[in-house]
Structure 1
Amino acid sequence: MSDYAVIDPSTGETIATYPTATDADVERALAGADAAARGWGRESTPADRADLLRRAAQLHRERRDDLAAIIVREMGKQIDGALGEVDFAADITEYYADHIDEITADVPVAIEGEGTAVIRKAPLGALLGIMPWNFPYYQVARFAAPNLAVGNTILLKHAPQCPESAAAIEAIYRDAGFPVGAYTNVYLTNEQAAEVIADPRIHGASVTGSERAGAAVAEVAGRNLKKVALELGGSDPFIVLSADDLDAVAQAAVDARLDNTGQSCNGAKRFIVVEGLYDRFVELFAAKMSDASVGDPWSTDTVLGPLSSLAAAERLEGQIRGAVAQGATIVTGGTRDGAFFTPTVLTDVTAEMDLYREELFGPAGVVYRVADEDEAVRVANDTPFGLGSYVFTTDAAQAERVADRIEAGMVYVNLVLADEPGLPFGGIKRSGTGRELGLLAAEEFVNKKLVRVG
């Protein structure tokens, strides 16, 4: 039986199944990626690669409706969110075409002796990307585009519930004119993925997914001395210290929590509010969360579709039930109908509870009461994760001070949902290593070669 299948989370119906790769398929993919890296990756010019990336971005836009429909079926993404994701993937791809000269340019190094020295960025070769289901196009674009820009080639193992979006992405790169082997989708098993990482023709791996997946890949990569980039979980704090318009702050909190039905690694999940604003914030936040409509992901009137699977909804339900059993309070929500879950607000979660250190991957958030800035920062940092964070304050000096103290890879002050192609994305602690997006992403898998001429 295949591990790769499209199962409509709204109904539980299995729409299609796809066979996993045979050993011959894997060898063919490895050989093709290696050959393309040794040929096209080294011989193509930045201008050549930029033209191909621009065409790939254009094809995302031309196929926008079809691409969006695929991920509504695969993982229940609400249609407006699906269309927006395709647009963002196109923008990311185009960004690396537009910035390719900056990405690939030699970097002069000042020297004391005669002659010149530069750092030259050379591709490593074939890479393996292991991508998740929550953003099927966006996650791939932010890995594939910068690496194709520098001349690396890609083998892509997508999530087992995303076989059709995986194939659609491969078709885009093929139809854009990339040579055979430059980008290859492979329906790998986990065991095959480990073998691919160990293969000497693969020079690095990038994983976006769970802590468990990241640790497993990092272990194999480390044993084989391969570079690895990890983008894993998050339990991002949303700190409220002061506000001229608390209603607007509460709406930003809802937007940050419910994006992608709450299934974003960098979604706000812990809402940390100072004493004087806490009661009113909880009231506003809970009311706005409960107003968010749950229903048909194909409808533009729907805010939340189903979670990605019945198992995901059951996992979230179990976390909430466990927290309540340990003393937490449900202010609103907390109910499930199949894979559909009502927006949920919890309070009275303490450091002794399991949920305090867990990631809630769904439309549920926890609100914490704190006395002041110092306690807010302490609670924000009291987590194994360190991906993103949000700070709301009317005091500019306080904003800078708190941003410096937060243990996270990203801090957003007085705004949410502000990702851009040029802004680096990544975390610290158990949220991973490395950066995606921005110019930094193009430096993850390159040989920064010193060339000194006397």
Structure 2
Amino acid sequence: MKTSIKTYHPFNGNHLETYTMDSESKLKEKLKLADSTFKTWKQLEIKTRVALMQNLANELHQNKTELSLLITKEMGKPIAESRAEIEKCIYLIDFYIQNSDHFLQDDIIATEAHESFISYDPLGCILAVMPWNYPFWQVFRFAVPTLAAGNVALLKHASNVTGCAIAIEKLFLNAKFPKGCFQTLVTDHEGIEKLMSNDIVKAVSLTGSEKAGRKIAELAGKNLKPSLLELGGNNACIVLKDADLDRHIETIVKARMQNSGQSCIAAKRFIVVEDIYDDFIEKFTSKVKALNYGNPLEDDTTISCLAREDLAETLEKQVQRSIDLGAKVTLGNTRDGAYFQPTILTNVTAEMPVFKEETFGPVAAIIKVQSEDEAYTMASKYKFGLGTMVFTSDYDAALQRTSEIEDGAFFINEMVKSDPRLPFGGTKISGYGRELSKEGMLAFVNRKTVYINK
């Protein structure tokens, strides 16, 4: 039986730390602590809970350098992007400091009663199963609104970012949150299954793969517990003939290559109308070639290795199977350990893995179409549903297409991205439920109807 977790720096393969996994008795202790803490935490006024959020923001700000280094060492993100991730977490906290009180206010409903309203009560202990690609942001966008609403949280993080998971718990403790309000669990999938069957755990939030989502949904259903799933994506980027490439090409490249292409909401399929196709290929290729590969700890590095070598191997296989089916390599397609060279594939069709599967790395699949109608049809021809982006000068016409896009997001002249002010989530096999905004705060509350007659 596995009793420890080792973490490694993906850029050089060096061993970072070894962590002892929580025993079954330790997990039970953490569950009991969460349960007892919830009984007092939920009774606090919202303004008291939110006041601690300012402490949390201060902790992030004061420790940004150290935390950014930890992110980069554990999963290989370029250091400038790691700093930006910490800053985004601070922005998220500020948003909920400003808005939690009115998000959670009772909703008065006019009925025949003397008074009737909806109150929003916390559910209790919420389990979060989180991925490695944004090891702080993914956790904070769950934890901040969930705790502000009066719940307590247990985190099962990806094993390769265990150091980040432990550091996050320490941040909450240093911010003076009650012990047991936020706890990290160093466990495996078997441990998660046992936790899901425990009555103390009231609901689960998962960000991860389709496979992990199906398993968690099965466990949640078996135990009749609410679940929120943010799963994989294969976002389309539609480039119409009137797109202003000189203005938007940097955004388009960033939409694929940010975080070394390791993002569920990255643009993965570029559907380009033939009128602008050659110009697009030239400008896109030029910008991708200009990306600066190197050590992720260097400030001028803009793209680096993937988080693990096995991830690069999987991507390599997807690309090769697509080439075998007729895709052409315009740029890249070289792997060295965990590094995968930024790659552009043309002559891509809907039967290829790079079109119909999620590619988690810096591979851009380019599809040429004849018309705007064909572009939208091709964009919708897939099983994922996180987001679609379209670049055009006629944004009014694009707006009229909104209902044709079944995804959780439709961005015009901008890359799909998460924003604390806007709800975030997917459809189809990209999951269900919404994080962020007011919807994220109400994801794990009991919407209680209260009806009063004199």
Same fold (TM over 0.5): yes
Unaligned runs of 5+ in 1: none
Q: Deviations over 1:394-440 (max 9, x none)?
A: 11321212222112101111112653211111110010111111111
Aligned to 1:101: 101
**1:244, distance to aligned residue in structure 2 (A):** 5.5
Aligned to 2:414: 415
Task: Give, as a single letter, the amino acid of the residue that structure 2 aligns with 1:204.
Answer: A
Alignment of 1:75 with 2:75, yes or no, is: yes
Aligned to 2:427: 428
Aligned to 2:230: 231
Q: Deviations over 1:240-278 (max 9, x none)?
A: 113353233332211111111100100111111111011
Aligned length: 452
Aligned to 2:446: 447
Task: Give, as a single letter, the amino acid of the residue that structure 2 aligns with 1:28.
Answer: E
Q: 1:283 to 1:177 in 2, by over 3 A?
A: same
Aligned to 1:37: 38
**1:349, distance to aligned residue in structure 2 (A):** 1.6
Task: Give, as a single letter, the amino acid of the residue that structure 1 aligns with 2:17.
Answer: A
Supply the distance in 2 between the matched residues of 1:286 and 1:140 (Cα, whole angstroms): 34
Unaligned runs of 5+ in 2: none
Alignment of 1:324 with 2:330, yes or no, is: no
SS at match of 1:302: coil
Q: Deviations over 1:373-399 (max 9, x none)?
A: 221111111111000111111113212
Q: How does 1:17-416 map to 2 (within 5 A)?
A: 17-41=18-42, 43-111=43-111, 113-243=112-242, 245-416=244-415
SS at match of 1:129: strand
SS at match of 1:424: coil
Task: Give, as a single letter, the amino acid of the residue that structure 2 aligns with 1:62.
Answer: Q
**1:75, distance to aligned residue in structure 2 (A):** 0.3
Does structure 2 retain, via aligned residues, the 8 Å contact 1:331–1:345? yes
Supply the distance in 1 between the matched residues of 2:400 and 2:370 (Cα, whole angstroms): 17
Does structure 2 retain, via aligned residues, the 8 Å contact 1:4–1:162? no
- TM-score, length-scaled by structure 1: 0.97
SS at match of 1:194: helix
**1:54, distance to aligned residue in structure 2 (A):** 1.3
Q: Deviations over 1:338-393 (max 9, x none)?
A: 11121111111212223321011001111111122221111111111000111111
Q: 1:164 to 1:327 in 2, by over 3 A?
A: same
Supply the distance in 2 between the matched residues of 1:232 and 1:134 (Cα, whole angstroms): 13
Does structure 2 retain, via aligned residues, the 8 Å contact 1:50–1:149? yes
Does structure 2 retain, via aligned residues, the 8 Å contact 1:234–1:359? yes
Supply the distance in 2 between the matched residues of 1:244 and 1:17 (Cα, whole angstroms): 50
Supply the distance in 1 between the matched residues of 2:352 and 2:414 (Cα, whole angstroms): 30
SS at match of 1:39: helix
Supply the distance in 1 between the matched residues of 2:367 and 2:400 (Cα, whole angstroms): 21
Does structure 2 retain, via aligned residues, the 8 Å contact 1:49–1:97? no
**1:116, distance to aligned residue in structure 2 (A):** 1.4
Does structure 2 retain, via aligned residues, the 8 Å contact 1:5–1:162? no
Supply the distance in 2 between the matched residues of 1:384 and 1:446 (Cα, whole angstroms): 30
CA RMSD of aligned residues (A): 1.2
**1:122, distance to aligned residue in structure 2 (A):** 0.1
Q: Deviations over 1:200-221 (max 9, x none)?
A: 1110000001111111111001
SS at match of 1:11: coil
Does structure 2 retain, via aligned residues, the 8 Å contact 1:53–1:93? yes
Does structure 1 retain, via aligned residues, the 8 Å contact 2:113–2:451? no
Supply the distance in 2 between the matched residues of 1:26 and 1:208 (Cα, whole angstroms): 22
Supply the distance in 1 between the matched residues of 2:416 and 2:404 (Cα, whole angstroms): 22
Q: Deviations over 1:34-55 (max 9, x none)?
A: 11112212x1110111101111
Supply the distance in 2 between the matched residues of 1:210 and 1:305 (Cα, whole angstroms): 22
**1:7, distance to aligned residue in structure 2 (A):** 0.6
Task: Give, as a single letter, the amino acid of the residue that structure 2 aligns with 1:352.
Answer: E
Does structure 1 retain, via aligned residues, the 8 Å contact 2:354–2:365? no
SS at match of 2:29: helix
Q: 1:54 to 1:348 in 2, by over 3 A?
A: same
Does structure 1 retain, via aligned residues, the 8 Å contact 2:269–2:355? no
**1:2, distance to aligned residue in structure 2 (A):** 4.5
Supply the distance in 2 between the matched residues of 1:220 and 1:438 (Cα, whole angstroms): 27
Q: 1:114 to 1:219 in 2, by over 3 A?
A: closer
Supply the distance in 2 between the matched residues of 1:306 and 1:172 (Cα, whole angstroms): 28
